[in-house]
Structure 1
């Protein structure tokens, strides 16, 4: 792996590729097929990948966890694109929370 890997750039490029598949040919693109099947299916796939990531973690399967994490992030990007959310929207929220304790941040949320 390159030590100059820019995580934001990788996520942005992948997101743009994912978003460009919306409305595409479902016979030619798995991503286009997910979009065509709708939000419920995209969310289901995200949940499946989350479970697979957790299983890899608890079984101490490092390589499995890396692969499943990649699948999880990919499906999260598909869900974001489906909902009109961009990576920078989520990064702005993470930045807003940075430096705030988890307990204080959770207490500040509206019930």
Structure 2
């Protein structure tokens, strides 16, 4: 399975759980039931765990970091699904930014907001 198909397949499952909720059987459906507030709590929790794992030394710390990043990405994908967005939208945005200096990209966002 390719990397993109893993993300696409996971996103399909998340969107299916939204369309066919069975909260008593599905973790994703239970998060969806709680809305942005509940999903957001998990995103914040997982982001903090990513930072904590980032401080852990050696190979065990590296392995823990990978697991926590996977949790964070998963919960961010649930939030995307809740808002009827897809991982493809994130990939498209990253593609749009490719080859642009991060400083220049950030400055362009600020000038558009004004």
1:74-94 Cα shifts (integer Å, max 9, x gaps): 101100000111111111111
Equivalence for 1:50: 47
Query: In structure 1, what is the Cα distance between the partners aligned to 2:42 and 2:73?
Result: 11
Superposed CA RMSD in Å reads 1.1
Is residue 36 from structure 1 mapped to residue 42 from structure 2 by the alignment?
no
* C-alpha deviation, 1:25, in angstroms: 1.0
> How does the TM-score come out when normalised to structure 2?
0.88
Structure 1: 4+ residue segments shifted above 6 A: none
Equivalence for 1:92: 92
* C-alpha deviation, 1:97, in angstroms: 0.6
Equivalence for 2:107: 107
Query: In structure 2, what is the Cα distance between the partners aligned to 1:96 and 1:63?
Result: 30
The aligned runs of 1:8-87 (5 Å cut-off) are: 8-22=4-18, 23-60=20-57, 61-87=61-87
Give the 3-state SS of the residue equivalent to 1:40 in structure 2.
Answer: helix
Q: How many positions carry a matched residue from both structures?
A: 107
- Larger CA deviation: 9-18 vs 22-31: 22-31
Query: In structure 1, what is the Cα distance between the partners aligned to 2:13 and 2:56?
Result: 32
| Uncovered stretches (5+) of structure 2, i.e. residues with no partner | none
* C-alpha deviation, 1:58, in angstroms: 1.3
Query: In structure 2, what is the Cα distance between the partners aligned to 1:74 and 1:87?
Result: 10
| Uncovered stretches (5+) of structure 1, i.e. residues with no partner | none
> How does the TM-score come out when normalised to structure 1?
0.91
